[in-house]
Structure 1
Amino acid sequence: MRILVFANTPAHVHLYRHAVDRLEDAGHEVLVLTREYACTTDLLEFYGLPYRRYGEHDVAASSTATIARELGGQLGSIVREALRFGPDVVFGRGPYAALAGTVARAPTVLVLDDEPGDFNHTVSRPFADCILSPRVTRRDLGDSHYTFDGFKECAYLHPEIFDADGAVREYLGVGEDEPYALVRFNALDALHDAGLEGFTRRQRRDLIDRLSERATVFVSDEGGEMDLRNLPARPYDLHPALIHDAMAEASLLIADTGTMVTEAGLLGTPALRYRGTDDHEYGEFRELERVGLAEQFDGYAGVRDRAIELLADDGADARWRRRRRTYVGDLVNLTDLLVDVAEAAGDLEELERSSRAALQPASVTASERP
C-alpha cells in the first residue's frame, strides 16, 4: 500500500511517527508531506521519516487573511505531490488532506481534536471517508465520524509507547533531585490562534522571576522574541525531539499553548494552562481537569499563584504520577489504531475486532454528554 500522511506541525510529526515506522516495517510505502514550520522538518529528520516539503509557514503570518493567502500558494504543490505519489489512503486534517485525497481519488482519514473555529472542519468534512477524534471532543461531524477513548497524544505518550530518557537531566545540566519548571510561550500564529493573546511581556518576566525563587526555569519561546539575558532563566535549547523527556522529569509545566499542557498532563507532570483571551471550551482540557492532570486559569494571578503553590508542595509530583498511572494506562493506544485504519485503507468495516471495539460513532458519544 501507499500511505500519504500530512504533518504540518511538530505535534503532527509525533502523532504519526510511530505509525509510519510500523507501516514501513510491514512493507508499505509511506510519504509524509510537510511544510517548513518551527521544528517540524527537524523532527522528521531526527526520526528518519520519509518526507517532502510542499511549502512553509511564516510565523509572523497571524491574521486569517495572510494565512489564507499562504495556504493558496501551497495547494498547487500538494496537488502535484499527491498525483506523483498516488496514495491508497491519505491521513491528515483540514484542506491539505481533503485536497490530496480528492485529486488522488484516495480515501481520506482525518484525525482531529477539539480545536476552535469551523474552518478546517467545514472545508474537509465533505471529503472525508473517516474522521477520528477523542471521545471528549464536543463535535458530531456526521456518519463518518468516530471517537476513541483517549487523546491524539496517546499515539506517542501512551505508557505502552513512551519510555522517558532519564539522561535528559544531564543534557539540561540539572542535578538528579533539582526541581525545574518548563515555561512555554506560544507564538499564536496558527489559523485557530488568530486574534488571541497569551502572556503579556510583563507577565512573562514576572512569572519567570517568581518561579526562579523555587526552581530552575527553562523557557521555550515559540516566537523567539524573548531576551533572557537579564532574567533568572535558561533557554530550553535541547533538540526538540527531547521535549517529552524534559517534560516527564519536570516539576511543573506552564504554558499559554494547548498541546504541551495536554502532553505534560498525560506524562504525569503538573500542568497549568493560561487561557489568556482564548474562551474556547476544549473537551480535552475539561477531561484532564476532571481527572486532576491539568488546570486552567482565566487570569494571570491565578496561574502564577498556583505555580508557586505547586513548587512548594513536596507531594505534588507523586500525586500527579499516581493519577497518570490510574488514568492514562486505560486509554487507547492510538498508534495501534492508526496502523489498523491505514491497512484497512480507511474502511472501518475492515478493521480487526479489537480496533472496531475501540471506536464509537460520534453521534452516540454526543448523545451521552450531559
Structure 2
Amino acid sequence: MDIIITIQHAANVHFFKHVICELEAVGHDVHVFAREKGVTTRLLDAYRIEYELLCGEPDGWFGLGLTQVRYEYRLLQRAREIEPAVIVSSHGIAATHVATLVGARSHVYIDTETAINGGNRLTTPFADTIYTPESFREGYSGDHVTYPGFHELAYLHPSRFEPNESILRRHGVDPDDRYAVLRFGAWKGNHDVGKNGISPECRQEITDMLAANGDVYVSVEGDDEVPMGGEPLPVPPESFHHLLAFADIVVGEVATTTLEAGVLGTPTVRISPFAGQNEMGKFRELEDRGLVRSFRTSREAEALEVIERIDRDPTATATWADRRETLLSETTDVTAYVISQLHERGVSTTDRLTPQTSEATRDERNDSIPN
C-alpha cells in the first residue's frame, strides 16, 4: 500500500521514524514529505529516512502563512501522483486537507489541545480518524480514538530506545558525573504569539545554581546566547535523548523536551507561559505522576526553589526511575499502536505485521536507525 507521512517538526521525525521503518520492512511504500523547521531535515538524514523537502523554513509571521500554502499545494501535487491509501500526520493541517481532496483516509495524532494549538481547528474537521492520548482534555465528534500513552513513547518506550553510555563518552560526557540539561525556546511558533519564556535573569540564576554541582549543558533556539557558566550541547541532535536520560535534572520551557525527559524518568522542571489553569492534559498527567513539575513563567521564584530542592535530593534519580516504571506499566508502545491502527483502519488487512514479523524487523530497524 502507498502511505504518505508528513513531517512538520523535529518531534514528528522521532514520532514516525520506527513506524516508517517497520511499514517498509513488510513491503508498504511509505512516502515521507517534510517542511524545514529547526533540525528536522538533519534528523531525517541522520536516521537515513528517504524524504522530499517541499518547502524551507518560513521567515517571520507573514512567511509562515505563505509557507503553509506552498506546502499544501506541493503536497497535493505529489499526492495526486501517488494516490495513497492513507495520509498520516501529527498535528498536520495540510495532511487532512490533501487527503480529503485525493480520496485518501487521514489519520492525525494530536496531543496538544486547541487552546494551545489553534491549528487543530483547521485540522480536525477534515480528519477521518483523530487519535489522542487518554489524558487529552478535548473530545471530537466522529471517529475519535484515545489510547494510554504519550507521543514520546513512540520513540522512548523501552522497546524502541535504550540509553547508551558509550554515546555520551564518545562526545566527552561522563554519564557517572553530575550534569544538568537546560532547554530554552525561540518562541516564534504559530502558537507562541504574545508569549515569552523564562526571563534572562532567571535563566542565569538556574545556570548558576546547577553549575555549582556539575556541568550545565544548554540548548538555546534562535539568537539567544548560552547563559554564563553553561555549555552548548555536547552531542548532535540525534543523540540528545541519551543526554536527557543520564542527566541529574532537566529544566526547560519547551514542551517536547520536558515531556521527553519526564517519560525517560529524569527529574524535570518546566517553566512555561502555557502552564497553569488551561494546562495541557499530558502535563497534568505527568504532574500527577510526579514526573514533571510545571510552573507558569510568573512563578519563576517558586520554580527555582523546586529546582534547588531536587538538585540537593540524593534520592531524586531513584524516585523518578520508580515513577517511570509505574508509567510504563500503564501505557503502551505507541509505535506498535500507530501501526496496528493503520492496518485496522487505513491499510488493507493483507500483509499485516505479525508479532513474529514485528520482532524480526525490530533488529533491522535498530541497525538502520543509528543512536
Q: TM-score, normalised by structure 2?
A: 0.88
3-state DSSP of counterpart to 1:191: coil
Cα distance in 1 for partners of 2:206, 2:33 equals 38
Q: 2:260 aligns with which of 252, 263, 283?
A: 263
Cα distance in 2 for partners of 1:125, 1:175 equals 45
Partner of 1:106: 104
Cα distance in 2 for partners of 1:278, 1:289 equals 11
Q: Deviations over 1:283-313 (max 9, x none)?
A: 0010001111110112111222211221111
Contact kept? 2:165, 2:175, Cα under 8 Å? no
Q: 2:83 aligns with which of 68, 80, 86?
A: 86
Q: What are the ranges of 5 or more consecutive residues in structure 2 without an aligned counterpart?
A: 355-371
Cα distance in 1 for partners of 2:130, 2:70 equals 26
The structural deviation recorded for 1:84 is 2.4
The structural deviation recorded for 1:130 is 0.7
Q: Which amino acid aligns with 1:50?
A: E
Partner of 1:50: 50
Partner of 2:369: none
Partner of 1:274: 271
1:125–1:116 Cα change, 3 Å: closer
Partner of 1:127: 126
3-state DSSP of counterpart to 2:49: coil
Partner of 2:66: 69
3-state DSSP of counterpart to 1:320: helix
4+ residue runs of structure 1 moved beyond 6 angstroms?
Answer: 347-350
The structural deviation recorded for 1:253 is 0.6
The structural deviation recorded for 1:78 is 1.6
Q: Which amino acid aligns with 1:71?
A: Q
3-state DSSP of counterpart to 1:133: strand
The structural deviation recorded for 1:116 is 4.2
Q: How many residues align?
A: 349
Partner of 1:358: none
Contact kept? 2:113, 2:138, Cα under 8 Å? no
Q: What are the ranges of 5 or more consecutive residues in structure 1 without an aligned counterpart?
A: 355-370
1:295–1:253 Cα change, 3 Å: same
Cα distance in 2 for partners of 1:172, 1:213 equals 22
Cα distance in 1 for partners of 2:236, 2:168 equals 13
Question: How do 1:153-232 residues align onto structure 2 when only pairs under 5 Å count?
Answer: 153-227=152-226, 231-232=228-229
Q: Deviations over 1:249-308 (max 9, x none)?
A: 000111111111111111010011002365541100100011111101121112222112
Question: How do 1:24-63 residues align onto structure 2 when only pairs under 5 Å count?
Answer: 24-58=24-58, 61=60, 63=61
Cα distance in 2 for partners of 1:310, 1:18 equals 34
Q: Deviations over 1:9-64 (max 9, x none)?
A: 11001111101000000101101111111111111111111211111223x63x4x
1:348–1:274 Cα change, 3 Å: farther
3-state DSSP of counterpart to 1:307: helix
Q: TM-score, normalised by structure 1?
A: 0.88
Cα distance in 2 for partners of 1:149, 1:277 equals 23
Partner of 1:19: 19
The structural deviation recorded for 1:210 is 1.7
Q: State the Cα RMSD in Å.
A: 2.3
3-state DSSP of counterpart to 1:167: helix
3-state DSSP of counterpart to 1:119: coil
Contact kept? 1:198, 1:277, Cα under 8 Å? no
Cα distance in 2 for partners of 1:87, 1:174 equals 45
Say if 2:333 is the partner of 1:333: yes
3-state DSSP of counterpart to 2:165: coil
